[in-house]
Chains A and B, each alone.
Chain A
Amino acid sequence: MRIYKPLLFAACLLPLVWLGLRIAGVAGPGLGANPAEELQDELGLWALRLLLLTLCVTPVVRLLKMPRLYRFRRMLGLYAFFYCMLHPLAYLLLDLQLDFAHLGEDLLKRTFITVGMGAALLLIPLALTSTRGWQRRLGRRWNRLHRLIYPAAILACWHFYWQVKADTAEPLVYCAVLALLLGLRFWWSPLRGRLFRGG
């Protein structure tokens, strides 16, 4: 059963490999007429997908009673973080070409970027404290800290929703998935009992 983790590791790397092949023109459709935008969009989408996949672990474990799945959660989360860093890196290198004055202007004027940056920043402490050592050191506080993934995912969906012009269908699908995942957690949490007495 030791094969699953390497398999998952390779699977999560596939989107990046695929993008690399598309850039090099070796396989798949090219990046098209606006390659910088295509690259950023793809990296961003995979960051969001992996973030939501990470959030799927707990509900799936609970519904299917498969606690073994927990051991994949860290890798999914770290991959979400990985793509979540590559996405703004592509923006910084390709779109802004390291023009930091422009970055300042974008953060002020393109508010969806500000929101996206918020999501990325929230994930940084989670990635840093993802090791067993930190888990031990922080104890119960580790769990509380890692709830930051909820606001991060909300900001990430908001970031996606805000940057489209009129067709919100695709971001709304991601928002709906997130709402479901967070809704399940709320349903199972003691918070619900406290808010709705006897519920």
Chain B
Amino acid sequence: MLIRAKADIPASQIAPESAWFNRRAFVAGLAAAGLVGTARAAPRYMAADVGQKELNGVSRGPFSTDEPANSYEDITTYNNFYEFGTGKEDPHRNAGNFKPQPWTVRVEGEAETTGEFDVEGLLSGAGLEERVYRMRCVEAWSMVIPWVGVPLGEVLKRFRPTSRAKHVAFETVYRPEEMPGQKRRVLDWPYVEGLTIEEASHPLTLLAVGVYGVTLPNQNGAPLRLIVPWKYGFKGIKSIVSIRFQERRPPTSWNISAPLEYGFHANVNPQVDHPRWSQASERRIGSGFSGLLARRIPTQMFNGYGEQVAHLYSGLDLRRNY
């Protein structure tokens, strides 16, 4: 499980794969979490139906919205993942050759423990939770998505970041052979993102490995991605291969691409418009006639998570720090 001996996380803390992909435990976990037999709008997806693996022992985490979740189809056929092309349906179309297994993540920088870990090793000790979050894209559309993951903060603290670890920088894998979008320099590859350590440690922040109870499809950032529900979707970096603790604020891809349009913080804020469009309202994604005729809905400050996160930004001019 442990790839390099440099890391000093005891092997006993690392869950064997069987603990992850055990169907019976999965169903029992769902029952325990009250997920089986509830009238939740989100249908459960059986792994075989969608070609993904079931995730086991998923408990229902806090902060979930009871708004109706988008369908698995909507979530997995309409998103931005420029590594697979710039159209919204390109990731779904072009992610077939991507290989999310085997996978390792480098943890480096200002922490007592660093090294290279596979996904199971990285997440070991933290229980999988389902979090139904709103996702607000900077392009003024939104979805409600039942992610499965672990709080990033729980993962990070095991590496014992030092006092100099003021930020966490993330990097997406660079594999132009498997990610055709990387053959064109639409963005400066590899994609990079970052958070302050406070944001990264916030209980809302999720390191997601699945959606709808199954592993992430390639187009949604398999095998491991970031979810920061109070920020615009582009902060949620996908297919992560590097997590680095550092003192300085890390560069972020969209900010490098268009600094006047996309800031480091990228908090959802209906009062601060994108230079080319308003952020006051959003279109909730939904296919079919109901989606075609759906009304725009008002965008909420911090995407509706202000109660949890507003204190992180007290005293900060959000107009300047967009």
Task: Tell me the minimal C-beta distance from A27 to chain B in angstroms.
Answer: 16
With an 8 A cutoff between CB atoms, is B20 at the interface? no
Q: Which residue of B lies closest to A29 (CB)?
A: B89
Given contacts A34-B88, A34-B141, A112 and B283 within 8 Å (CB-CB): no
Interface of B: prevailing SS: loop
Asked if A102 contacts B281 (CB within 8 A), the reply is: yes
Of B139, B186, B287, the contact of A167 (CB 8 Å cutoff): B186
Given known A-B contacts A30-B287, A95-B296, A165 and B139 have beta carbons under 8 A apart: yes
List, in ascending order, chain A residues with CB within 8 A of B127's CB: none
Q: Across the interface, which residues of A come within 8 angstroms of B289, CB to CB?
A: 23, 35
Give complex CA distance A109, B280 in Å: 11
The answer to whether B278 and A110 have CB atoms under 8 Å apart is: yes
CB distance from A28 to the nearest CB of B (A): 13
Contact status of A35 and B288, CB under 8 A, knowing A163-B276, A166-B186: yes
By the criterion of a CB under 8 Å from any partner CB, how many residues of chain A are at the interface?
A: 30
| B residues in contact with A162, CB < 8 Å | 276
B316 at interface (Cβ–Cβ under 8 A)?
A: no
B276 touches A23 (CB 8 A): no
Map CB proximity to B onto A102-127 as digits: 1 under 8 Å, 0 otherwise: 10011001111000000000000000
A111 B276 Cβ-Cβ under 8 A: yes
By a CB distance below 8 angstroms, the chain A residues around B139 are 165
Cβ-defined contact, A32 with B86, below 8 A? no
- The number of inter-chain residue pairs (CB within 8 angstroms) is 81
- Which of B35-43, B72-80, B96-104, B220-228 makes up part of the contact surface? B72-80
Q: Is the CB of A94 within 8 A of B293?
A: yes
Q: Tell me how many residues of B have a C-beta within 8 Å of chain A.
A: 34
A23 to B82, CA, bound (A): 27
> Which chain B residue lies CB-closest to A24?
B289
Q: Which residue of chain A has the shortest Cβ distance to B79 in the bound complex?
A: A33
Residue B286 lies at the interface, judged by CB distance under 8 Å to chain A: yes
Interface residues of A in 26-43 (CB under 8 A from B): 30-37, 39
A98 to nearest B CB, angstroms? Answer: 11
Establish whether residues A23 and B292, one from each chain, have CB atoms under 8 Å apart when the complex forms: yes
Give B171-208 interface residues, CB cut-off 8 Å to A: 184, 186-187
The reply to whether B291 and A35 contact each other, CB–CB distance below 8 Å, is yes
Q: What is the 8 Å Cβ interface bit string for chain A, positions 84-104, against chain B (1 contact, 0 not)?
A: 000000000011110100100
Q: What 5 pairs between A and B have smallest CB-CB spacing?
A: A33-B78, A167-B86, A33-B74, A35-B292, A110-B277
Binding site for A on B (CB under 8 A): 70, 73-74, 77-78, 82, 86, 88-89, 139, 141, 184, 186-187, 257-258, 273, 276-278, 280-281, 283, 285-289, 291-296
Residues of A within 8 A of B (CB): 23, 25, 30-37, 39, 94-97, 99, 102, 105-106, 109-112, 162-167, 169
Q: A30-B287, A109-B277 are in contact. List 19 more A-B contacts (CB 8 A).
A: A31-B287, A33-B77, A33-B285, A33-B286, A34-B141, A35-B288, A36-B293, A94-B292, A94-B293, A95-B283, A96-B296, A105-B280, A106-B278, A109-B273, A109-B276, A112-B276, A166-B86, A166-B187, A169-B184
